[in-house]
């Protein structure tokens, strides 16, 4: 396992930028999928009322 603290500051900072980038993309995609799944479900429930 790579010890994060043992890495040099520029590498740590680059990793930090990469982690935030990946997290943002994952959140965007994840919530997008959730929206696609949830919207028809909500419409079905609303129409049934």
Alpha carbon distance 43, 37 (integer Å): 11
Identified binder of another protein from the candidate list 2, 6, 7, 27, rule CB under 8 A: 27
* Nearer to another protein among residue 27 and residue 37 (C-beta): 27
**Is 15 in contact with 4 (CB distance < 8 Å)?**
yes
The owner of tokens 């997008």 is 32
Residue 30 Cβ vs another protein, minimum distance, rounded to whole Å: 8
The owner of tokens 């997290």 is 23
Q: Applying CB under 8 A, which residues contact another protein?
A: 9-10, 12-14, 16-17, 19-21, 23-25, 27-28, 31, 35
């Amino acid at each position: 396992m790579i010890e994060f603290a043992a890495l040099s500051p520029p590498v740590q900072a680059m990793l930090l930028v990469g982690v935030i980038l990946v997290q943002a993309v994952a959140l965007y995609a994840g919530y997008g999928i959730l929206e696609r799944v949830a919207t028809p479900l909500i419409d079905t429930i609303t129409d049934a009322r």
